[in-house]
Amino acid sequence: MRPVSYSRATDVGAAIGAVSADPESAFLAGGTTQVDLLRIYVEQPRRLVDINDLPLNRIEELPGGGLRLGGLARMSDVAEEPELVRRYPMVAEALLLGASPQLRHMATIAGNLMQRVRCSYFRDVAAGCNKRAPGTGCSAIDGINRGHAVLGTSDCCIATHPSDLGVALVALDAVVQTEGPGGTRSIPIDDFFLLPGQTPEREHPLTHGELVTGIDLPPLPVAATSRYIKIRDRESYEFALASVAVAMSVVDDRITEIRLALGGVATKPWRARQAERLLDGAPATTESFTRAAEAELAPAVPHGMNTFKIELARRTIVRALEIMAQREGTT
């Protein structure tokens, strides 16, 4: 790890001022991604501004019925918030199916959105990687890419977005609240995560020194009937090979409302809009689910070792929808 200097911010304005004034500085929150990447020289700030003492860890009711999750709320605390569990169970499930108990105590939910990809070439400073070092090529496209994305890829980058939480948030149309040198703004979650395109180094629209202060969950009654289903190589403490966040309501065997998003298979948390369009109003049958899953994965591009993910994602979608349909049928 390169030498770094350190200060601890006592208020939000001071934290933003300190980081925005110095291009080689960075916020430090839970540190679970950042300390790891500092140690392997993938990130090399000269100064860390510790924001853990800032009053941004509360979970509050929003007027109109939503919830605001403070950016510094820890994954473990958010997952146990009773109102979140009751109104947005898929969010709690996504959090508890990610990382380990120790990491969930450390990691913040803003940091969860800002975490970097786990592509082994991104993490290896000797390898070509357009995300870490633009213009050096993508080593994963013809390399070891079993864990890589099949949706949202480009000829520059195929790294999978690692967040589980993000998948539930895109299904819910959450809104990211930020504060920076230019003031505050609200960014719809689907615009917060950027596709790699020709600029994979650019993962979100934030400017240097702009801080994620909170995440707003909008009021959404159907979210009370939601699940996060995660498929992985081992039962716990592992990233998704494919995952599905789904909220669904069924009336008289027809789907009246559907939210669907995919993780583990795309370069950003993936809202399955094509599948949603086909499912909305359709009979809640395996046939409908299969047709929707096939349509969503139709544009998928495999790169050799990750070809299996296309079928795995289809089956995970169908299974998640079947689970929801059975539960809907029994209530």
CA distance 263 to 2: 33
Which residue from 312, 310, 311, 246 is spatially nearest to 284, judged by alpha carbons?
246
When binding is defined by CB under 8 A, the residue of 16, 28, 117, 176 that contacts another protein is 28
* Nearer Cβ to another protein (12/301): 12
- Closer of 99 and 247 to another protein (Cβ): 99
Q: Output the smallest distance, CB 117 to another protein, in A.
A: 15
Q: Which of 12, 20, 43, 52 binds another protein (CB under 8 A)?
A: 52
Q: Which residue from 158, 317, 150 is spatially nearest to 248, judged by alpha carbons?
A: 317
Looking at 13, 24, 41, 46, which residue binds another protein (CB under 8 A)?
Answer: 46
Is the Cβ of residue 40 or residue 251 nearer to another protein in the bound state?
Answer: 40
Site pattern 71..110 for another protein (x: CB under 8 A): -----x----------------------xxxxx-xx----
For 12-74, give the DSSP string: HHHHHHHHHT-TTEEEESS-TTHHHHHHTTSS--SEEEE-TTSS---EEEPTTS-EEEETT-B
Q: Does 16 bind another protein (CB under 8 A)?
A: no
Which is nearer to another protein, 22 or 322 (by Cβ)? 22
- One residue of 183, 236, 252, 330 binding another protein per CB under 8 A: 236
> If binding is defined by CB under 8 A, does position 319 make contact with another protein?
no
Nearest to 223 by CA among 81, 316, 59, 89: 89
Give the whole-angstrom CA distance, residue 166 versus residue 103.
17
Determine, following the binding rule CB under 8 A, whether residue 7 of this chain makes contact with another protein. Answer: yes
- Alpha carbon distance 319, 331 (integer Å): 19
Distance CA(4)–CA(6), nearest Å, equals: 7
Phi, psi at 293, each rounded to 5°: -65, -40
The span of 28-36, 85-93, 157-165, 259-267 binding another protein (CB under 8 A) equals: 28-36
Q: Footprint of another protein on this chain (CB under 8 A)?
A: 1-10, 14, 28, 31-32, 35-36, 38-40, 46-48, 50, 52-53, 76, 99-103, 105-106, 235-237
